[in-house]
Amino acid sequence: MEVVNTARVRQRLLNGSEFSEDEGMSEGEEDTWVFPLVQMKPLGIQVDEQVTQRLLTDAGPDSTVFLTSGYFNLTRAYMRLVLGAGASYRILTASPEVNGFFGAQGVAGAIPAAYIHIARQFYNQVCRLGQQERVHLHEYHRSQWTFHAKGLWYYLQGQDRPCLTLIGSPNFGYRSVHRDLEAQIAIVTENEELQSQLQEEQEMLYQRSTEVSDSTFEQPDRHVKLWVKLVTPLIKNFF
């Protein structure tokens, strides 16, 4: 926060000096803005959480949000905003075979099953609320790879390229918000070339995905043992 505050003061000083007029861009030339976001809730730093909540809150009808998380475990606040907002959502998460804990020994080997259980609970809630046309859940597939992509792309109504993206470490889950130190940047741009590059990155991920449906959870590899279902609510706040 000291770094962020120092940069803010420096920027204000430059904006009021002749240097900014002579050396910097003149007013109206800027087409891209970069905002640093930091999260460390135990120390009272909630910048990333506040910006993410504001973004999910203000995402208007007919806009589209692409959100990826290697470990899909939305906080209650984020889930409430996703399910209650007007924007369309395309959420991409790991299929069991590309989960980082797939094939792990001991109790850790059950972690992919816990994420299956969490994803199914979310999908069932989407269906109960009749939001299937607005909120879509996707799974990433790629043989011999693990999926740990994190990010968000925001498309305004009627636009075919994103104008905003989040790049950084948060998974949008409880641990990211409440326990860990997280850092990311928000990029807001009107630059069409940069928007196209952001779109290519997003499309590259989603091209290797399939959309989740009722039949997804009927597959044999999606069976979740009873003890995993019982334990998951107790430990989900730790991952």
Domains detected in the chain: 30-238 (3.30.870.10)
Mean pLDDT of the chain: 89
Q: The whole model's pTM is what?
A: 0.86
Q: How far is CA 120 from the centre of its chain?
A: 18
Q: Write b or e for each residue in 107-125: b if 16 or more Cβ atoms lie within 10 A of its Cβ, otherwise e.
A: eeebbbbbbbbbbbebbee
Name the band, by pLDDT with cuts 50, 70 and 90, for residue 235: confident
Q: What is the pLDDT of residue 28?
A: 64
Query: What count of other Cβ atoms lies within 10 Å of the Cβ of residue 238?
Result: 11
Name the band, by pLDDT with cuts 50, 70 and 90, for residue 171: confident
Q: What is the pLDDT of residue 237?
A: 74
Residue 19, pLDDT > 70, answer: no
Residue 108, pLDDT > 60, answer: yes
